[in-house]
Structure 1
Amino acid sequence: MHWLKILTPLLTASFLTAATPLAQAQNSGDAILLEMQKAFRKRDQATLTQLLPQAAGHPLEPWAAYWELKNRLETAAPDEVLAFMARYAGTYQEDRMRNDWLLQLGKLRDWGTFAQVYPQFRMRDDRSVTCYALLVDSLQGRGAPDMGRQVRDLWLAQKDADDGCTLAAAQAYAQKQLTDADVWRRARVAAEANRQKAVRDAVAIVAPDAADQVAQVFASPAKYLSGQSKARGRERKELALLALIRMAAGDPDAAATQIEGGWGAQLAGEERNWAWAVAGKQAALKLSPMAVGYFAKVRRDQDLNDDLLGWKARAALRAGDWKTVRRAIDAMGPERTDATWSYWKAKAMLADRPNAEERAEARQLLEDTAGTGSFYEQLALEEIGQRVTVPPAPAPLTREEKAAARANPGLVRGLYAIQIGLRSEGVREWNYTTNLHQGGGMGDRELLAAADLACERQVWDRCINTSERTKTFADWSQRYPMPYHDTVLAKSRAIGLDPAYVYGLIRQESRFIMDARSGVGASGLMQVMPATARWTARKIGMTGFTPDMINDRDTNITIGTSYLKLALDDFEGSMALAAAGYNAGPGRPRSWRNGPVLDAAIWAENVPFTETRDYVKKVLSNTTNYAALITGQPQSLKSRLGTVGPRPANDPETMKDLP
């Protein structure tokens, strides 16, 4: 109740109004919090200790106290940690501190204290902590029968090495709950991700005497292979396979030559299948026609993981080999049920002269996948003869539902933090509150009310992301908001650009956060890079442009829409290519389009960059939904896709001079 008393007056305070600028301290207390965040990031303990008393009574005091204690957690007494968690019981900061302390206790091997603290941990979202907990259960004789499977799944999901899962994996292996195959698979996946320490940690579990050879494998795969003329025993074969994986990452054709040249015969069947699949994946990432041939040498798809099978399916899609598409998807594990592969399996079945039973199965797959929420849901919807339309709005929120959201301390703290410039902290507190409200997560009506609060405060990313979690209805006014409506429509239509396309792109780029900054320097609603902004300003004749102008809302929209239109024209009106160019720069999709003429959905699924592949699909899906909202008419995603192929020989490129 202490924090409810503090927060209640803030519900009507001016800092929550739309007119309040973001990232600006409204009073000295806010300034103290901003200074403490800076000190925390610099690990400046003296400043944190000095400023903490001045944060007393501030609505975000839990953050101030968290930063001060977290920064010295390694030397803090247990009583201090327990006192912190008691004082801020029920808050995000309490549970985050518990998470941090559990990691510390795990590293210290203080299993007794860990076992006492862990049951109160509510988030349960840290894989390393979960691995420590599984290990503690095992050490204390409470290990679950499926401990090995749980550890394996957590371990394989991590790219980087960590203490918790590595330690738990070693214990599970010692207890014969993890097999040699499990551990070597971890090493293979880590090798492909270029994580040398993770590979070494895995090899040290299954073959301690061979762990030192991992450095040689990474330093020069070719040299390592040439020094291993004959592979005897599983250890040496697996190390050779790791070398082939690293070689394929740089040159899949060179790896294929090594496999053909003798290593394939020395590897076991499962190892050889994996080697060919990695060569196939890396060739597919280069859009090489050799990918299909390399994958064809895999004799047993069940030996592969879902990632390799996904790339086998993509390469087969690009080649028009529907039989292989279907076989690869059928061999998948959990990924098989994803909308992506449900859709392509149905398409593969329909493309392969299906009988009545297979047609019915394909139709059922499409019906089960169809919807308006994502790219493949929309494509499946069209395959069964429907178009995207705006769903019915949910029942209006009651006064009581709105009041409950506005009185929720976690939501108010989250908005306050975002409002004064502590966006990362505010987002985490908001997400925690909506995920763990009263111990079980918010229901749909509570999520709707929380999203309504965020929309009202124009915190659009929380508005959208919270609304997207409702399961029994979809409020598109929240999920697809249209801030700056008049400006976006006027700027778009003035240059002949579909405003739905602009909104679809902004929603994906920045979630309408005006002060958004990317890690590479892009700014504003449309996330424009400084060099791109200068180039575009020259192209459209904008005089007097300076880089700081990109942070002005109207200028950002003008530059962003103009650049998007230039990209769209340069790619002959292809929304898929222009979106890829906007995300990855126009040079990359110029090369990605070379090859056969493809359905744009197949082309998009084969984009080599994971971020850009996801981006293109989301922008086009967003665009279709925004078009339904703007026009009030049923919309087609397929009509916006078309085909993608090489540039016509007589069509000059207009963006070659882009820096």
Structure 2
Amino acid sequence: MRFLRSAMTPYTGARRAGRLAGATALGLLIALTQAHAAPTSIAAPPSIADKTEQRKLYNDAQQAIRSGRYTEYRELLAELEHYPLKPYLEYNYINRRFSTLPAEDIAEFERDYPRSYLADKLNRRWVEKLAQQGKWADVVTQYRADNATTELTCYYLRGRIIEGDQSAYKEVPELWSVGHSQPKACDPLFANWMDRGGMTDAIAWQRFVKAMDSRQRSLARYAAKKMSPEKKKLAELYDEVDSNPRVLSDMSRFGEQSADMQQIILHGLQRLSLRDAELAHKLWQRYDAQQLFADKARLETQRYIAVRLLRQGHTSETEALIKATPALSSEDLTEWLVRDALRNLDWHRVNKWIAMLPTEARASERWRYWQARALEHTGGSAEQIKALYQLVAQTRSFYGFLSADHLNIPYELVDKPVTVNSVTRDQVATLGGVQRARELFILGKALDARREWYHTTKQLDETQIIAAGKLAESWGWHRNGIQAMIQVRYWDDLELRFPLAYQEHVNTTAKDLSVAPHLLFAIARQESAFTADARSSAGALGLMQLLPSTAKQTAHRSGMSFSTYDLLEPATNIALGGRYLNQLLTQFDGNRILAAAAYNAGPNRVKQWLSKSKSTSLPYDVWIETIPYRETRGYVQNVLSYSVIYGYRLGEEKPFITPSEARSSL
């Protein structure tokens, strides 16, 4: 049975300044102790309170290293034998002496902390140093493929060649022939390989094409310089077609029957279809009669053009194309046609295209639900319609909740907490990497904590990952508890997957604004999985992923003081996120569907979508299913579904769709 799965907005480069990081004041440490102490029912490393003095000594030792007081550092280190972050002191001490470090010190650290995050980091730096010193035999022996970067792999292959292993040359083309620039450390290896005659037209062409596909035009031109004059002419033609694909209209220039020419034609047709899919389709028909394209390439090109025809509004042409070539009917393409039919409330076409979906997709709760909806409008039997709704209503999902509403039955909320035996729990709790991650998390060093955690947990088996997730949740590290359930694909522990994180702040904001707390929980769960220092690629910050500009405007309207850093504080982030959500609810007459869509895609975009659908007033479920942005569509579905689950977690029965939302036509 499949249930609603986690969908989180990606975020990269998460950083937190960590006001408490490195703090030594006793009052701050006591506050940390109270905030993060683990329940006694969970086996864990020694309690936080016991580490107060150790943390002070740790900070003193770090300062001693920075100041070069190494005798003092060694004395302090002796007092920190059982402190989890002792390896960080040793690592920092090694770094201060790295230029003159004996090899034995590296080996000792790796023996003491085998395959740990810091040991692997040190190994990479050590191999780099050995290469820079020209100690190639040592590079070969110290290199580890499972811990390598591209730079280190280049050093390793170079070392093998220098040490007489000529078979290393066979591995160079794969490193060179990529669609992006490689590190400068690889240049001597590549030069040596080329001097030996390793470069061929085929290898240069391969990199040229990859670079063009990656839009790295300068790199592509560099690769073209490595070609023979005849091959270089083809590369120049490829470049011209990439810049101006309409030149394909002059078929006399593309009559050569070769794999390279076919690659140029297919690339140009795909580029052209982005701008003019109709012309691309006409030219495709002519070139298909001229060239003997491989079956796979033919199908991929036709599908690519068909999708662009759809996106450019040529629905009937696309349908005719699929009718003529049924093999084109991919899942993505057919789903697009189903949604086009839904947008036009053409229920017969909805039925037709659902029937064209692959068997597995057609059996999903999504398309079973829409099959039932279409049958309601096309004369399907009541028994068949009810059977479909009943089948979908058994799932804890967006479509399951919709189906339950149609049948007027309770929602399916399977809640089966996963269990961990005490032996496994205790073993995981005492792992060095887990203890280090916890201590770093407590000290506010979120990035280092995550690195330690991920490095450690990727080496665990399924049972151990579950135990680690339980531990993380007990410490208030909610995202890691959620992630553990995703890793092991266990969806029924609702306490772990949908924690009542920062409940006091949520309740305060909900009360102040008269906004339902389960909706605030749902937004925070969807946006960041309760990662307080989350930072998206677009610059959104904190639990509810607010852009600083949005937060500033919201704070100004609400009479709140504001600084960007405050968005990393849970209380402030939830307060501002709640107020922004409340503004959207007010703007869209309390409609959570529209407010959630606006929270993700922006209110102006939602207004545009509403304006476009004015000519055909859509039922709420059709409007959601036909939201133009896949991300926003999934976002709205998750927020509404998570709201039901959080209603259950809070002990309150909440409707999936309110009566006013159900009555609204969008």
Q: Same fold (TM over 0.5)?
A: yes
Residues 282-317 of structure 1: CA distance to partner in whole angstroms, max 9, x if unpaired? 465xx543256346525546569xxxx343133112
* Counterpart for residue 243 of structure 1: 268
Displacement of 1:242 after TM fit? 1.4
* Counterpart for residue 177 of structure 1: none
Displacement of 1:452 after TM fit? 3.0
* Counterpart for residue 429 of structure 2: 406
Q: Is the 8 A contact 1:217 1:242 kept in 2?
A: no
Query: Residue 388 of structure 1: SS of its match in structure 2?
Result: coil
Q: CA RMSD in A?
A: 6.2
Structure 1 residues 427 and 553 mapped into 2: Cα distance closer, same or farther (>3 Å)? closer
Greater displacement, 594-603 / 376-385: 376-385
TM-score normalised per structure 2: 0.63
Gaps of at least 5 residues in structure 2 are: 1-28, 38-47, 161-165, 184-188, 190-201, 342-348
* Counterpart for residue 314 of structure 1: 335
Q: Equivalent of 1:389, from 398, 413, 416?
A: 413
* Counterpart for residue 503 of structure 1: 521
Residues 162-213 of structure 1: CA distance to partner in whole angstroms, max 9, x if unpaired? 79xxx9xxxxxxxxxxxx9xx99x99998676566898999999x9657734
* Counterpart for residue 11 of structure 2: none
The reply on whether 1:568 has 2:589 as its aligned counterpart is no
Q: Equivalent of 2:114, from 89, 94, 97?
A: 89
Displacement of 1:506 after TM fit? 0.4
Query: Residue 631 of structure 1: SS of its match in structure 2?
Result: coil
Residues 31-59 of structure 1: CA distance to partner in whole angstroms, max 9, x if unpaired? 987999xxxxxxxxxx9999999696674
Structure 1 residues 548 and 326 mapped into 2: Cα distance closer, same or farther (>3 Å)? same
Taking the aligned partners of 1:634 and 1:543, their CA distance within structure 2 comes to 31
Displacement of 1:411 after TM fit? 0.9
* Counterpart for residue 17 of structure 1: 33
Matches within 5 A, 1:458-607: 458-470=476-488, 474-539=492-557, 541-542=558-559, 550-593=567-610, 594-595=612-613, 607=627
Displacement of 1:561 after TM fit? 1.3
Q: Is the 8 A contact 2:248 2:265 kept in 1?
A: yes
Taking the aligned partners of 2:276 and 2:421, their CA distance within structure 1 comes to 60
Taking the aligned partners of 2:95 and 2:307, their CA distance within structure 1 comes to 42
Q: Is the 8 A contact 1:187 1:198 kept in 2?
A: yes
Structure 1 residues 549 and 433 mapped into 2: Cα distance closer, same or farther (>3 Å)? closer
Matches within 5 A, 1:166-565: 194=215, 209=232, 212-213=235-236, 216=239, 220-222=243-245, 225=248, 229-231=252-254, 232=256, 233-249=258-274, 251-253=275-277, 256=280, 259=283, 266=290, 270=295, 271=297, 273-282=299-308, 288-290=312-314, 293-294=317-318, 296-298=320-322, 300=325, 302=327, 309-320=330-341, 321-322=349-350, 323-329=352-358, 342-347=364-369, 351=374, 371-372=395-396, 375=398, 387-394=411-418, 402-437=425-460, 441-443=461-463, 446-470=464-488, 474-539=492-557, 541-542=558-559, 550-565=567-582
Q: Is the 8 A contact 2:434 2:456 kept in 1?
A: yes
Query: Residue 297 of structure 1: SS of its match in structure 2?
Result: helix
Residues 105-139 of structure 1: CA distance to partner in whole angstroms, max 9, x if unpaired? 99xxx999999889x8679999x99xx99xx9xx9
Taking the aligned partners of 1:78 and 1:208, their CA distance within structure 2 comes to 49
Gaps of at least 5 residues in structure 1 are: 1-12, 37-46, 144-150, 168-179, 331-336, 647-659
Q: Is the 8 A contact 1:16 1:457 kept in 2?
A: no
Displacement of 1:412 after TM fit? 1.0
Residues 415-466 of structure 1: CA distance to partner in whole angstroms, max 9, x if unpaired? 22233343233223223333323xxx141xx444322322232112112222
Amino acid at match of 1:583: N
* Counterpart for residue 625 of structure 1: 645
Structure 1 residues 223 and 470 mapped into 2: Cα distance closer, same or farther (>3 Å)? closer
Displacement of 1:624 after TM fit? 2.5
Matches within 5 A, 1:102-121: none
Structure 1 residues 635 and 527 mapped into 2: Cα distance closer, same or farther (>3 Å)? same
Taking the aligned partners of 1:50 and 1:291, their CA distance within structure 2 comes to 74
Displacement of 1:581 after TM fit? 2.0
Q: Is the 8 A contact 1:378 1:637 kept in 2?
A: no
Residues 529-562 of structure 1: CA distance to partner in whole angstroms, max 9, x if unpaired? 22212322344x4265565654554443232112
Displacement of 1:477 after TM fit? 1.9
Residues 544-601 of structure 1: CA distance to partner in whole angstroms, max 9, x if unpaired? 5565654554443232112112223434544343223212322233334534655666
Query: Residue 437 of structure 2: SS of its match in structure 1?
Result: helix
Structure 1 residues 414 and 551 mapped into 2: Cα distance closer, same or farther (>3 Å)? closer
Structure 1 residues 14 and 311 mapped into 2: Cα distance closer, same or farther (>3 Å)? same
Taking the aligned partners of 2:290 and 2:447, their CA distance within structure 1 comes to 51
The percentage of aligned residue pairs carrying the same residue is 22
Residues 121-161 of structure 1: CA distance to partner in whole angstroms, max 9, x if unpaired? 679999x99xx99xx9xx989x9xxxxxxx99x99xx9968
Taking the aligned partners of 1:295 and 1:124, their CA distance within structure 2 comes to 49
Residues 345-368 of structure 1: CA distance to partner in whole angstroms, max 9, x if unpaired? 545766589999xx79x969967x
Taking the aligned partners of 1:78 and 1:394, their CA distance within structure 2 comes to 46
Bigger RCO (CA 8 Å, 6+ sep): 2
Amino acid at match of 2:520: V
Greater displacement, 473-482 / 290-299: 290-299
Structure 1 residues 329 and 527 mapped into 2: Cα distance closer, same or farther (>3 Å)? same
| Number of equivalenced pairs | 569
Amino acid at match of 2:304: V
Q: Is the 8 A contact 1:597 1:644 kept in 2?
A: no
Amino acid at match of 2:33: T
Query: Residue 625 of structure 1: SS of its match in structure 2?
Result: helix
Amino acid at match of 2:358: I
Q: Is the 8 A contact 2:36 2:476 kept in 1?
A: no
Displacement of 1:262 after TM fit? 5.1
Taking the aligned partners of 1:28 and 1:571, their CA distance within structure 2 comes to 56
